[in-house]
Amino acid sequence: MAESNEAALSPTGMPHTGSHRHSDVSGGWLRAATFGAMDGLVSNTALIAGVAAAASAHTVVISGVAGLLSGAFSMALGEYTSVTTANEQIDSEVRVERRAFERHPTAERAELVAMLVKLGMSRETAAKATEEIHQDENRAVNFHLVQELGVNPDEKPSPWVAAISSFVMFAIGAIVPLTPYLLGFESLWAGLACGGIGLAVAGALAARFTSRPWWWASGRQVFFGGVAIAATYLVGTLVDSLL
């Protein structure tokens, strides 16, 4: 008699568990880092373009550095607050579910049976699975919330990771268009070129986590960033002509 294996076997006879690996989609860092980098590139390149349309290179540098610092701190605070609030909402839903378990245990079991049947189980199998799941209250609460709200209380993103990721990546993105000025090249076109290259590179790097073609992601970021930068430059020019 063949010895049983816990891991399912692929057609080649190898355990399926080692055949592929998923990215971390619940840690909170990728969205915050991507948002921070793109925002830093677009907002500071646009700020530099708008200021350069009506001011000296010295003023451009001061404005760019101020934009970098204020934007980075704002992004970090915003990410920390938003992720913390979302996590607190999940904690609140956990308390609601626990009270329901205490007050209406039978109804909660019946609810889970109905959900499992809807997923394709027979009623007998669903009832057996429900009894096993409800033997551990923490596991049962989590399972109910995953099915009802699509969130797992054990996989909440870290607000600190989100805040630090957004701060660092915003600062990196924001300093890219400033680089020519900091090196002594008082050229708006050089700053715009650096900003464009930064957007293209950031888009290509983000595409590695999404399986999108790198050229498509790069082109998208450059296009939308270019629109924002051009609009800001035109507004700066208009304001300068009116003053």
190, 49 contact by CB (below 8 A): no
| Residue 9 β-bridge partners | 15
Do 153 and 24 contact (CB within 8 A), yes or no? Answer: no
List, in sequence order, every beta strand (DSSP E) within 93-175.
none
> Does residue 1 form part of some domain?
no
**Shortest CA distance to 62 belongs to which of 44, 74, 77, 36?**
44
- By residue range, what is the domain housing residue 131? 28-238
Cβ(141)–Cβ(99) under 8 Å?
no
Q: Measure the CA–CA gap between 65 and 216, rounded to whole angstroms.
A: 31
Total domain count, the chain? 1
Residue 25 has pLDDT above 70, yes or no: no
Domain-located, residue 199? yes
- What's the farthest any 2 CA atoms get from each other in the chain? 90
Residues 47, 52: Cα–Cα separation, whole Å: 8
Q: What is the pLDDT of residue 6?
A: 42
232, part of any domain:
yes
What is the tens place of the pLDDT at every residue in 113-141? Answer: 999 999 899 999 999 999 999 999 889 89
Look at residue 192 and tell me whether its pLDDT is greater than 90.
yes
Q: Percentage of the chain with pLDDT > 90?
A: 58
The predicted model gives 84-111 an average pLDDT of 92
Q: Is residue 8 a part of any domain in this protein?
A: no
Q: What are 82's two structure tokens?
A: 């938003």
In a domain? residue 105: yes
pLDDT of residue 89: 93
Beta strands in 41-187 (DSSP E): none
Q: Is 147 inside a domain boundary?
A: yes
